[in-house]
Structures are given as structure tokens and as C-alpha cells.
Amino acid sequence: MVEVEEEGIRKGVDLLRRCDEMVSKLGLFSSNETKDDVSTANLKYLLVPYYLGEMTEKVAQEDRIPVLKSSQDHLKEFIYICEALELISEDELELSRQKQPDTMANRRAQKVARFKRQKAAETKLLEIKERKERRRRSLRAAALSAPIEAGEEDAFEDDGEEEREAWLATISLALCKAFDLLDMLKKEEEMLLAVKERKTKDGNAFAREMLDERTKRAEAWHHNAANRAPYSKPADPITCATFAQDVIEGRASVSQAHEHKHQPLIFGPASLVGGRLTSERERMAAQVFQPSYRLPTMSIEEAGLHLHNFLSTPASCSSTVNGHPTNSAKRLNRPSVSAASSS
């Protein structure tokens, strides 16, 4: 829906731009003329720059500053033509020519005066519309009661002057809106230029501030974690291999509670996809393709821990073979290689 609306706005801008070019080529208006010199049929074409500026302002574009400048140029062109043709009221000209300080009181006075002229133009257009409607009803009633002779239509529809008044009121209303829109676009352009200048001056200062803030938070988190480490409970070993390495290097004791669970390797589909066996049926399906040889019952780390326990007990110094102590075990305080292998 938004894309359709934007496409319609762009098409409208293109058509209005073509119409403005044709009006300029035809030379319908001259700076040497006044509003009395312009025909009623050509008054409507005075509104082309106004509608072009109003439509251009609605164009969606990433860089909005060129859009604002183009819209202001069209509105200024409309105001300039109306001023040359003496279509702007004296009050508006005096307010625009006075070099008064831009204070809240002055802006409020301008808005109040402009609002009054806008309401007067709207009231004038409404009165003209009502008069046309009454005349149309009277003409319809007269046509039903008696036939209208040739040439009498102009007597009922002699609204040439009324049409001129309607177009002049429409232009006056457009002037009020053009002044308000021009002020708004100027303020928006000033704000965008200030933001752009600040970004150019500061560069990536905002991004650097955000990065520094995140770095400070990370450093504070690591500092607090280091302070809590001596008083907090250490994490459980990840695997048996890490626990065995801690035992060998003296960072842990064998007597510490640690579960050494060794799951036999599964060569089924579940192992291929890395999934978990959540049911007995899945486990049985995963064990369909198994090797023909016997799988190990413990890992290398667990075997090392068993050997460590065996060597650390005093009873292991008098190892026996078939119930009799071996001579090598008597001579040495450690079991022989064959005894260790047989055990």
C-alpha cells in the first residue's frame, strides 16, 4: 500500500512538472501584467507551482534535504508570480517585508492574521458553492415548468464573474497554505543541516562512545567475576579427560564426587545427525548397524583412574597369581608389567 502511494506521488510530480514546463513555454503570465489582465480560464494555471511544491514535499527519499530545497523553490516561484500579479494582500506583504525579530509574539501575530485570511477564503468558496447549487436547482425547476428558449441559458448561468471569484479565492487560500508550508520546510531544513554538520564534525564519535561503553561494561563484568571466583563454587568438570588432567596436575582429588559414565559408541542414524535418543525405539533403531567386535567398556581416562587407584592402595604391593604372591612383586614395591597387564 505504501509503495503504491509513493508511486502515485512520483507520477503526480512528473505530470505537474510537465504542466509547469508547458505553462512556461506558452508564456501565459508576465511580470508586467496584473490579476485583471489574466483571463479567468488561465487563473487555474497559477496553482501549478503550488501543487508541485506541495506534492514534491511528500516524496520519500533517503536524503531529504534536496527534496526540501526543491519544494521550497516551487513554493517561492508560486509566491513570486502571485506577488507580481498583485494577488497577495497588503497585510501579508507588510508582514513579509518587515524586519522584525523572530519572536514568539511576532510569529503568533503572523499565524493569527494568516489564519483569518484562510478562513475568509474558505468561507468565500463555500458561499460560491452554495450559490451555484441554488442556481442549479432553480434552473432544473424552471426547465420542468417551462421550456427554455434559445439564448436564455446564459441568463440562468451567467456565472463568469462568480467563477473568477472562486479561482481568486482558491489562489488566496493556496497562498496562506504556501506561506505556512514554506516556514515549516525552512525549519526542517535547518534542523537536518545542523544534524548533518554535527555528524560531519564529530565523525563516528557516537559509535565510538557506544563501543567504549560496551568495553567498560565487559571489563567491569570480568573484574567482578574475578573477584567472585575465590568465594564461588567452581563449575563441574566438562569431561572425564579434563577431570583426570586435574587429578594428575594436583588441582583435584580422586575422592571428589565425579560421575564417570562411559556410553558405548553408537553407529546408527542418531549418531550421524548428532541427535539424542529420547525413546527405547530410537535406541534400538540406532543400534541396527553395530560393529562385529566387542566395544570398549571404559574410556582411556577411566582406565587411567582405575590404574591410579590400584597403585595407590597398599594391598596392591603383594599381587598374587593364582593365589600365590609373585617374586617380582616381593622384590619391588610396584607390580610388574605382566601383572599390571593381567590385572
Q: What is the pLDDT along the chain (343 residues), one digit of tens a residue?
A: 667 788 899 999 999 999 999 999 998 888 788 888 889 899 999 999 999 999 999 998 888 999 999 999 999 999 999 998 988 877 777 766 666 666 777 778 778 888 888 899 999 999 999 988 888 888 788 777 766 555 555 544 556 788 899 999 999 999 999 999 999 999 999 999 988 887 777 666 666 777 777 778 777 776 776 676 666 555 454 455 666 666 666 666 655 555 555 455 554 554 444 555 556 776 676 666 666 777 777 888 888 888 888 888 765 545 444 444 544 444 444 444 443 443 3
Which distant-in-sequence residues (6+ apart) come within 8 Å of 295 by Cβ? 264, 265
Q: Report yes or no: 253 and 313 within 8 Å, Cβ to Cβ.
A: no
CATH of the domain at 67: 1.25.40.540
Domain-embedded: residue 39: yes
> Do 23 and 165 share a domain, yes or no?
yes
Domain-embedded: residue 175: yes
Domain-embedded: residue 114: yes
Interatomic CA distance for residues 230 and 257, integer angstroms: 20
Domain-embedded: residue 131: yes
Domain-embedded: residue 284: no
For the chain, counts of helices (H) and of strands (E) = 14, 2
Note the maximum CA span of the chain: 149
When divided into structural domains, the chain yields a total of 2
Domain-embedded: residue 132: yes
Interatomic CA distance for residues 15 and 9, integer angstroms: 10
* Amino acid of residue 308: H
Interatomic CA distance for residues 87 and 170, integer angstroms: 11
DSSP 58: T
Last residue of a domain, one of 132, 167, 202: 202
| Beta strand ranges found along the chain (DSSP E) | 320-321, 324-325
CA 10 distance to own-chain centroid = 23
Kindly state the cell numbers that stand for 93: 506583504
Query: Residue 318 sits in which domain range?
Result: 313-343
> Do 35 and 178 share a domain, yes or no?
yes
Question: What pLDDT score was predicted for residue 237?
Answer: 44
| Beta strand ranges found along 1-118 (DSSP E) | none
Question: What pLDDT score was predicted for residue 215?
Answer: 79
Domain-embedded: residue 112: yes
Q: What is the pTM of this model?
A: 0.54
Question: What pLDDT score was predicted for residue 336?
Answer: 41
> Do 319 and 193 share a domain, yes or no?
no
> Do 16 and 137 share a domain, yes or no?
yes
- State which H helix or E strand residue 54 sits in: helix 48-56
Q: Report yes or no: 158 and 103 within 8 Å, Cβ to Cβ.
A: no
Domain-embedded: residue 252: no
